[in-house]
Amino acid sequence: MKKNSQHSLIRIGLSLLFFLAAQVSPSQAAEIKLQRQGEYTFITGGLSEDEVAFLEAQAPKYPIQLTFRKGGQTDGMKDFTVRVRDVRGEVVVETVAKGPYLYVNPPASGRFTIEAEWGQEKLSMTKDLVGRRYLHLLFEFGRDAK
């Protein structure tokens, strides 16, 4: 009886694993890749609905969640430079964003300065990440342009 229970649990576990694997298409996995710089990991993307869904599913793993918009829209936001600096001002992540979303998982809490550069426009924010909280930061390009 005990052996049958174990087999049932294994079958349920495998079924769940296959179900979850089917929720992410191969194209999503190919388009959004986990990146690493030092102890920091990050993902970037969000140009399609599939990418946005994938990023939303991954969001709980990333305490720093950045969104980039122009004119209130995320459409077409890509290929801009983002730098994350630690409290000492050292660049800990530098990347070219592949979409309007960039999620960063730092090794610890602290004060971070995020700089984003798109065309001639540069934006910057400094925020504290404390404990198990999340930083949801919105960078709005084109505010001053008329």
Percent of the chain at pLDDT above 90?
72
pLDDT at 48 over 50: yes
Mean pLDDT of 70-74: 92
The ranges assigned to domains in the chain are 1-25, 32-141
* pLDDT single digits (tens) 1-47: 455 555 554 555 444 444 444 454 445 444 799 999 999 999 999 99
Percent of the chain at pLDDT above 70?
77
pLDDT of residue 41: 97
More confidently predicted of 27 and 100: 100
DSSP class of 73: B
pLDDT of residue 142: 87
Q: What's the rounded Cα separation, in Å, for the pair 42 and 17?
A: 24
Which tokens belong to 142? 């084109």
* pLDDT single digits (tens) 113-133: 999 999 899 999 999 999 889
Pairing of strands 135-141, 64-70: parallel
pLDDT band at 64 (very low <50, low <70, confident <90, very high): very high
Contacts of 3 (CB under 8 A, 6+ apart): none
Which tokens belong to 107? 């090794």
Which tokens belong to 130? 């404390």
Average pLDDT, the chain: 84
CATH, domain 32-141, list 3.40.50.2020, 2.60.40.1230, 3.30.2000.10, 2.60.40.10 = 2.60.40.10
